[in-house]
């Protein structure tokens, strides 16, 4: 059934500065209020249209506690009386109208006469483009763009599958590289980032990039995690079309794009969502739920249908309009728990007496069901740090519906282990092996993220014990362990070449370190681990099920030698990984395993190409049959110091 335009059904009074006009149907309003409208970006905000032969922009904003709302900008000298919007008579709290002759690129805000006479000037919550900070107005724009990534979009279900290799390069766009590393105000544009980063990520062999929040945000020091523009890529680097070009270029290079997305909290900036119309419109009114003590920010009211519709529409927007391949949902733990970072008296139990935020749990489940229903070939990833059950299990099995969950326990235990002087490691092998005890509870992603190289935690290379050679050897072995452990992988930018500074968002990575062999060759090691991951089916085909991993030797605690097997669907592809976690060379080391009689070394972290000694390797590997009935063999190998070898 063809939907008639508003002006074909209603009289439009074209004598006023703002014409009466509406995009909304009764169904839209009902779904918006019930928290089940997930395409609000097509209705709210500013939209370029033509009415009665006049081009201009239609505006719609939700301000349920307002007594008047007008559009202000340079075009009317910021006069709050000249362009008033019409309030809908259905008590939906929506204000709307069409302003003729308003061009693309105009700055604007909503002037709101709000609750108890409070007057505020707010940016558009649904704007697609904002002024570059410190300016705070929204900009009339469109999202016209001709995509050229059909090849990727048609086949991305294969690349984003849980049975495909997943190695994510986590990036903060501003500080990856700058025109002037000493000037925090100097930014590469999206176009420059595209020309520099796409070939680098491709050469390094990562399967995906993950951008720390690109959604518009006022304060650089929040790294994007306190946002004001849930429907706009930041203008720091250019316009929305330039960001589309960046995503498109990654897709044409065969690389997926994941965005960090923050539905947990928002800042109190005057132009943002806080007290939007003089009352708690987007946030809980009860500050035991509505204020976030850790981040001095405000928590979305997940109980309110209009807010739930807003948030799920935001997530859907990035998949729909920007072709992204996944979202990594930040701070899920803080949403799930009413007592997160709160002590006795600072929180109130739910209606059943528990500490779960019931409406937030419902929101998360609806979010994931909607994303996977509408975009079946994407991934939704949870950054969640508690033992909440079933985070990455389908909702029909009682889970939260994410595709993957960050494995924080693995990260903590592994870093604790590798920070230790090798002389003490014999006493802590359980730190090393414990991850597989609970590994099958979730679809886990192994993160060595930005959180591990800030706030005095030290860069990766200086977490490692020993002299310079040992630090690099330890780090290469840690990365080999990470890449050969089941699950997805995530490495923060700079970790791949051993940045010697903590991450500083005001500067850039220490690219000049690549003139030193140790750093350049570490980067080559990470590249080859990525290629190993992509080229060896045993590394990914069964990465989330019990058939993909087997401990081969955990019995040499005193020597700190560990062996395990990675298994694909075809036993011929099995890999044997042996880690020697002390600086002692071990010649003629015996490993006992069943199945294959012939093995060859396909990776050695001590290779000269990676700044290793290159002295201990296995050009030929002798095996001896021990039990023909059980198909058991003794494998004889040489193990490099603080090294890892992979056999096939």
Radius of gyration of the chain from its Cα atoms, rounded to whole angstroms:
27
C-alpha 82: how far from its chain's center? 43
Burial class (CB in 10 A: 0-12, 13-18, 19+), 571: exposed
The string of DSSP letters for 434-488 reads THHHHGGGS-EEEEE-GGGGSTTS--HHHHS-SSHHHHHHHHHHHHHHHHHSSSE
Burial class (CB in 10 A: 0-12, 13-18, 19+), 615: exposed
Helix, coil or strand: residue 582:
coil
> Which of 44, 406, 439 has the alpha carbon at shortest distance from 260?
406
- What distance in Å separates the CA atoms of residue 526 and residue 476, rounded to the nearest whole number? 8
**Which one-letter DSSP state was computed for residue 137?**
-
Name the token pair of 525: 């090691």
φ, ψ for residue 543, nearest 5 deg: -70, -15
Instruction: Give the CA-trace dihedral at 459, 465, 470, 475, to 10 degrees.
Output: -40
Name the token pair of 468: 């310079």
Per the DSSP assignment, residues forming a β-bridge with 458 are: none
Angle, CA 155 vertex, CA 154 and CA 156 arms, to 5°: 105
- What distance in Å separates the CA atoms of residue 251 and residue 238, rounded to the nearest whole number? 19
- What distance in Å separates the CA atoms of residue 24 and residue 89, rounded to the nearest whole number? 12
The string of DSSP letters for 499-563 reads -SS---TTS---GGGGGSHHHHHHHHHHHHHHHHHHH-GGGTTTTTSTTSEEEEEEEETTTTEEE
> Which of 240, 238, 61 has the alpha carbon at shortest distance from 143?
240
Q: Dihedral sign, CA of 425, 427, 429, 432?
A: negative
> Which of 263, 216, 211 has the alpha carbon at shortest distance from 402?
263
- What distance in Å separates the CA atoms of residue 616 and residue 641, rounded to the nearest whole number? 8
Pairing state between β 256-261 and 326-329: parallel
φ, ψ for residue 489, nearest 5 deg: -125, 145
- What distance in Å separates the CA atoms of residue 335 and residue 178, rounded to the nearest whole number? 35
Per the DSSP assignment, residues forming a β-bridge with 68 are: 113
**Which one-letter DSSP state was computed for residue 642?**
T
Catalytic positions, written as ranges: 330, 383
- What distance in Å separates the CA atoms of residue 72 and residue 78, rounded to the nearest whole number? 5
Which residue's structure tokens are 């007592």?
339
C-alpha 309: how far from its chain's center? 21
> Which of 219, 223, 133 has the alpha carbon at shortest distance from 172?
223
**Which one-letter DSSP state was computed for residue 272?**
S
> Which of 405, 399, 546 has the alpha carbon at shortest distance from 488?
405
Name the token pair of 382: 């949870």
């Amino acid at each position: 059934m063809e939907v008639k335009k508003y002006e074909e059904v209603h009289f439009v009074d074209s004598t006023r500065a703002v014409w009466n006009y509406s995009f909304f149907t009764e169904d839209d309003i009902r779904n918006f209020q019930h928290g089940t409208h997930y395409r609000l970006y097509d209705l709210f905000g500013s939209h370029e249209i033509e009415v009665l032969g006049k081009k201009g922009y239609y505006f719609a904003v939700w301000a349920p506690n307002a007594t008047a709302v007008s559009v202000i900008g340079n075009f009317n000298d910021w006069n709050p009386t000249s362009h008033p919007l019409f309030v809908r008579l259905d008590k939906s709290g929506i204000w709307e109208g069409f302003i003729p002759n308003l061009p693309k690129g105009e700055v604007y805000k909503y002037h709101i006469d709000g609750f108890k006479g409070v007057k505020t000037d707010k940016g558009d919550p649904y704007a697609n483009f904002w002024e570059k900070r410190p300016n705070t107005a929204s900009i009339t724009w469109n999202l016209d763009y001709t995509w050229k990534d059909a090849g990727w979009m048609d086949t991305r279900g294969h690349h984003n599958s849980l049975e495909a290799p997943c190695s994510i390069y986590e990036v903060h766009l501003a500080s990856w590289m700058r025109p002037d590393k000493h000037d925090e105000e100097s930014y590469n544009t999206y176009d420059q980032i595209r020309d520099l980063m796409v070939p680098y990520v491709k050469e390094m062999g990562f399967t995906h990039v993950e951008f720390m929040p690109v959604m518009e945000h006022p304060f650089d020091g929040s790294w994007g995690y306190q946002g004001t523009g849930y429907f706009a890529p930041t203008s720091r680097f250019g316009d929305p079309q330039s960001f589309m070009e960046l995503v498109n270029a990654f897709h044409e290079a065969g690389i997926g794009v994941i965005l960090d997305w923050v539905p947990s909290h928002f800042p109190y900036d005057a132009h943002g969502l806080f007290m939007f119309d003089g009352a708690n419109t987007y946030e809980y009114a009860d500050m035991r739920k509505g204020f976030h003590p850790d981040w001095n920010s405000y928590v979305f009211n997940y109980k309110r249908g209009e807010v739930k519709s807003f948030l799920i529409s935001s997530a859907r927007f990035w998949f729909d309009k920007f072709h992204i391949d996944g979202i990594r949902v930040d701070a899920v733990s803080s949403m799930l728990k009413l007592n997160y970072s709160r002590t006795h008296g600072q929180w109130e139990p739910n209606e059943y007496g528990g500490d779960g935020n019931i409406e937030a749990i419902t929101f998360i489940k609806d979010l994931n069901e909607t994303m996977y229903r509408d975009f079946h070939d994407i991934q939704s990833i949870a950054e969640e740090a508690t033992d909440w059950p079933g985070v990455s299990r389908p909702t029909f099995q009682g889970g939260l519906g994410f595709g993957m969950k960050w494995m924080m326990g693995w990260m903590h235990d592994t870093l604790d282990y590798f920070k230790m002087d090798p002389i003490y490691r014999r006493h802590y092998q359980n730190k090393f092996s414990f991850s597989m005890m609970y590994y099958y509870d979730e679809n886990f992603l192994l993160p060595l993220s930005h959180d591990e190289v800030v706030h005095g935690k030290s860069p990766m290379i200086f977490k490692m014990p020993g002299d310079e050679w040992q630090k690099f050897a330890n780090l290469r072995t840690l990365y080999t362990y990470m890449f050969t452990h089941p699950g997805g992988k995530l490495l923060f930018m700079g970790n791949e070449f051993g940045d010697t500074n903590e991450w500083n968002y005001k500067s850039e990575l220490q690219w000049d370190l690549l003139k030193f062999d140790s750093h350049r060759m570490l980067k080559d090691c990470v590249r080859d681990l990525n290629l190993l991951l992509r080229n060896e089916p045993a590394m990914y085909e069964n990465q989330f099920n019990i058939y993909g991993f087997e401990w081969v030797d955990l019995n040499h605690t005193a020597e700190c030698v560990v062996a395990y097997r990675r298994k694909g669907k075809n036993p011929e592809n099995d890999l044997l990984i042996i880690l020697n976690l002390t600086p002692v060379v071990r010649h003629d080391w015996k490993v006992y395993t069943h199945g294959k009689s012939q093995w060859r070394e396909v990776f050695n972290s001590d290779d000269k190409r990676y700044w290793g000694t290159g002295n201990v390797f296995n050009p030929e590997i002798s095996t001896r049959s021990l039990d023909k009935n059980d198909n058991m063999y003794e494998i004889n190998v040489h193990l490099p110091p603080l090294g890892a070898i992979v056999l096939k």
